[in-house]
Amino acid sequence: MTETKLQSKIPSGPLSEKWTRHKAEIKVVSPANKRKLDIIVVGTGLGGASAAASLGELGYNVKVFCISDSPRRAHSIAAQGGINAAKNYQNDNDSVYRLFYDTIKGGDFRAREANVYRLAEVSNAIIDKCVALGVPFAREYGGLLANRSFGGAQVSRTFYARGQTGQQLLLGAYSALNRQIAAGTVKSYNRREMLDLVIIDGKARGIIVRNLETGEIERYGAHAVVLATGGYGNTYFLSTNAMNSNASAIMQCYHKGAFFANPCFVQIHPTCIPVHGKQQSKLTLMSESLRNDGKIWVPKKLEDVEKLRKKQIKPSQIPEEDRDYYLERRYPAFGNLVPRDVASRAAKERCDAGYGVNETGLAVFLDFAEPIKRLGKKVIADRYGNLFQMYEKITDVNPYEEPMQIYPAIHYTMGGLWVDYNLMTTIPGLYAIGEANFSDHGGNRLGASALMQGLADGYYILPVTIGDYLSHEIQTPKIDVNHPAFKESEDRVRERVKKIFKIQGKQPVDVLHKKLGNIMWEYCGMARNEQGLKKAIGLIDELKKEFWTDVLVPGVNEDFNQELEKALRLADYLEVGRLIALDALTRNESCGGHFREEMQTEEGEAKRDDENYMYVSAWEYRENKEPELHKEPLNYETIKVSTRNYKT
């Protein structure tokens, strides 16, 4: 196993000075030269929109691509709870160091120290920027910004805009993007899906996209390509991701030589609306912020569980002493605000023990009776009104009167393309930002940190670091899309599309995708073991064959063809799914979102193995061979690695 290909390029010096020093040392591009340089940004979520806007503002020529009809639809919009920053506005002893430490500890010490510190460092500027852009954050009566608490933190540092923080931050970034589009520095291409990365002389030089309205295959060239295409959670079919969120762009780059890091680190969010039946297409998240006031419990007595399932009693009728507030019981220090991975596993443990409160036995209660009594209905409605409304619309249960039912679901993927400190992948000129990269969250992401990372990468980090690379490209003329490399890529894309249409089997894409989802959830879900993972790999291989011989895609390429879109994406999910299982198999420790049943304490807590697994796994694609595992060791220079403890 080699490590030579993984140059993390972490600057030297004390942790708190690394970013400042790095910024001072790297090169910048003059305004006159910026105008000559083209950059492609794929994706318009928080990362993509903020990056494209910032790069446009700096004077680069930016082309930004999104699969929806408008950049504003990107799935960052669905983030509910908030965004972290170390402002210490509450004077509760918060600091950049504390935010950094909470984040790296929340990630179970599987992230890079320098990256996480930088994230905490720029977090404050993000809040300033968003306010300046007109994001209507919640405020106190005195007119200053309000904060709330989130899982994994003992301070109040989360800024929010009701339960629609992601929406408001995205609208802010989207408005900055619109300003650049109006100014002519950014050109926006909507309803375009990236289908391949074009590499010329070892450097990323362009992309091939499919126009989703007309089916045309188009070529675009640039001096650098930035991927901001989000995570791969939809591999599991049922997830809180949007239906169109997909892993195809990162997989195309993986196949072209970008390493895929930590694929097995997948976040399972504890508070989602439980699955209702076989016809379900996706799961809905209930914001983690609900755990600020909501109390999680299951009945203590199995006979109460029986009665609940038969609908003989209502949950509110179960007396206080017969309720098991299991998070408060197991983790007194953090209580209902333990990190997501811990809360999810605890819910699974109770449900596995037979205490699940709905017909399927896969749900626990999230109860607001006590806070409503203490604070009044109005205060609760003010904080969570839209979430309560959303819950009622979906389940037909009024959460002001009866507790919500929740169960963990796939929500976020910490893994992604491997990037160095400059956010560049192993392919020169190809950058990955936001959820598409692996860099900041380690084994588990804390709540309200995804928004922070997306905007940090897009507003403050990438626009600086990309200059270092582009400063060497000022002599490179405009990229010619008639170069043979473009033709070769386009031909390959056309070939793949043709191949899919040729199959004309019996199973629609969704049917096959559900099968993959079942395999993933069963064997690569909240608890994993060697036997199961091996089985999963075998099953995925079989399913892959099934896909390539029996998928049924109607219509033609030259049309608005949503089934073709889905089929192309599923082909990639099959590859990611296998990679997740493979990575999970080789990581024989329990860490963050990755729980290996073989590695647990007697109390059922995760057992991490720092001696053997304190590394980032980075997978290199090899044609017709198993991918090769590269390891980037994690060196902690400043902090002392400890066992996560949320009990005391």
Partner 1 sequence: MKFTLKVWRQKNAKAKGRFETYKIDGISPDTSFLEMLDILNNNLIVEGKEPVAFDHDCREGICGMCSLYINGRAHGPDDEITTCQLHMRKFKDGDTITIEPWRSAAFPVVKDLVVNRNAFDQILQAGGFISVGGVVPDANTIPIPKKDADESMDAASCIGCGACVATCKNGSAMLFVAARVSSLAKLPQGRAEAARRAQAMVAKMDELGFGACSNTQACEAECPKGVTIAHIARLNREFLFAKLEN
Question: Of 281 and 648, which CB lies nearer to partner 1 in the complex structure?
Answer: 281
Closest contact distance (angstroms) between CB of 176 and partner 1 is 6
Stretch that binds partner 1, among 239-247, 346-354, 481-489, 609-617 (CB under 8 A): 239-247
Residue 484 as a binder of partner 1 (CB under 8 A): the answer is no
Three-class DSSP category at 404: strand
Supply the minimum distance, in Å, between the C-beta of residue 548 and partner 1.
18
Is residue 357 near partner 1 by the rule CB under 8 A? Answer: no
In the complex with partner 1, the residue whose CB is nearer, 263 or 517, is 517
Complex with partner 1: residue 100 or 459, whichever CB lies closer: 459
If binding is defined by CB under 8 A, does position 503 make contact with partner 1? no
If one counts every other C-beta atom within 10 angstroms of the C-beta of residue 378, the result is: 10
Q: How far apart are CA 452 and CA 446, in angstroms?
A: 11
How does strand 416-417 pair with strand 83-84?
A: unpaired
What gap in Å lies between CA 108 and CA 529, rounded to an integer? 19
Q: How far is the CB of 67 from partner 1 (least distance, A)?
A: 9
Q: Which is nearer to partner 1, 170 or 485 (CB)?
A: 170
User: Interacting stretch for partner 1, rule CB under 8 A, among 10-18, 62-70, 338-346, 397-405?
Assistant: 62-70
**Contact string 428-467 vs partner 1 (x = CB under 8 A):** ----------------------------------------
CB 222, CB 479: distance < 8 Å: yes
Site membership for partner 1, residue 523 (CB under 8 A): no
CA torsion sign for 173, 178, 179, 183 is positive
523, 543 in Cβ contact below 8 A?
A: no
Known catalytic residues?
340
Strands 192-200 and 203-211: antiparallel
Q: Which residue has the tokens 């994001």?
A: 135
223 binds partner 1 (CB under 8 A): no
* 206 bridge partner residues: 198, 221
* Closest approach of partner 1 to the CB of residue 229, in Å: 14
Strands (DSSP E) contained in 556-627 are 615-620
582 binds partner 1 (CB under 8 A): no
What's the min distance (Å) between Cβ of 28 and partner 1? Answer: 14
Specify the residue, 558 or 626, whose C-beta has the smaller distance to partner 1. 558
In angstroms, the CA 42 to CA 194 distance is 8
Mutual angle of helices 113-132 and 18-25, in 10-degree steps:
80
The answer to whether 190 touches 71, Cβ cutoff 8 Å, is: yes
Among residues 115, 375, 481, 430, the alpha carbon closest in space to that of 256 is found at 430
Query: Minimal distance in Å, beta carbon 397 to partner 1?
Result: 11
The contact pattern for partner 1, residues 388-407, with x = CB under 8 A and - = no contact, is: -xx--xx-x-----------
What's the alpha-carbon Rg for the chain, to the nearest Å?
24
Q: Is 72 a residue that touches partner 1 (CB under 8 A)? A: yes
Q: x/- binding map, residues 560-579, to partner 1, per CB under 8 A?
A: x-xx----------------
Contact flag: residue 131 with partner 1 (CB under 8 A): yes
Minimum distance from residue 393 beta carbon to partner 1 (Å) = 5
In 146-216, at which residue ranges do the beta strands (DSSP E only) sit?
A: 148-149, 156-159, 186-189, 192-200, 203-211
Q: Residue 555 or 604: which CB sits closer to partner 1?
A: 555
Instruction: Let me know how many helices (H) and strands (E) the chain has, helices first.
Output: 19, 20
Q: For 408-523, where are the alpha helices, taking DSSP H only?
A: 450-455, 462-470, 484-503, 509-523
The answer to the question of residue 280 lying near partner 1 (CB under 8 A) is yes
Residues that bind partner 1 (rule: CB under 8 A) add up to a total of: 77
**In this structure, what token pair is assigned to residue 367?**
């109860």
Matching residue, tokens 């000129």: 429
User: Taking the complex as a whole, how short is the minimal distance between the CB of residue 507 and partner 1, in angstroms?
Assistant: 9
- Restricted to residues 135-194, the positions that interact with partner 1 (CB under 8 A) are 136-145, 161-162, 164, 166-168, 171, 174-176, 178-179, 181-182, 188, 190
Residues 584-623 touching partner 1, rule: CB under 8 A, are none
Q: Which residue carries 């890079």 as its tokens? A: 112
| 549 versus 562: smaller Cβ distance to partner 1 | 562
633: contact with partner 1 by CB under 8 A: no
Shorter beta-carbon distance to partner 1: residue 311 or 393: 393
Listed residue (445, 414, 455, 408) closest to 153, CA to CA:
445
Pick from 253, 244, 254: nearest CA to 207: 253
Q: Is 244 in the site for partner 1 (CB under 8 A)?
A: yes
Supply the DSSP string of 509-529, one letter for each residue: HHHHHHHHHHHHHHHSSSSB-
Residue span binding partner 1 (CB under 8 A) among the ranges 198-206, 341-349, 402-410, 553-561: 553-561
Q: Which of 17, 35, 243, 374 binds partner 1 (CB under 8 A)?
A: 243
Q: Which stretch binds partner 1 (CB under 8 A): 200-208, 260-268, 271-279, 521-529?
A: 271-279
Among 20, 30, 70, 642, binds partner 1 (CB under 8 A): 70
Task: Check residue 19 for interaction with partner 1 (CB under 8 A).
Answer: no
Would you list the DSSP string of 301-318? SHHHHHHHHTTSS-GGGS
The minimum distance between CB 551 and partner 1, in angstroms, equals 10
Answer yes or no whether residue 376 interacts with partner 1 by CB under 8 A: no
We find the least distance from the C-beta atom of residue 242 to partner 1, in angstroms, to be 4
What burial letters (b/e) apply to 557-571, b meaning 16+ CB within 10 Å? beeebebbbbbbbbb
| Among 260, 71, 109, 165, residue whose Cα is nearest residue 634 | 109
> Which residue stretch of 126-134, 320-328, 449-457, 494-502 sits at the interface with partner 1 (rule: CB under 8 A)?
126-134
Nearer to partner 1, 236 or 334 (CB): 236
Tokens of 480: 């010619």
352 binds partner 1 (CB under 8 A): no
Decide whether 481 or 552 has the Cβ nearer to partner 1. 552
| String marking each residue 20-39 x if it binds partner 1 according to CB under 8 A | --------------------
For the CB of residue 241, give the shortest distance to partner 1 in the complex, in Å.
9
Element (H, E) at 393: helix 377-395
Cα–Cα distance, 335 to 392 (Å, whole number): 26
Comparing CB distances to partner 1, the nearer of 161 and 342 is 161
Say how far apart CA 487 and CA 481 lie, in whole Å: 8
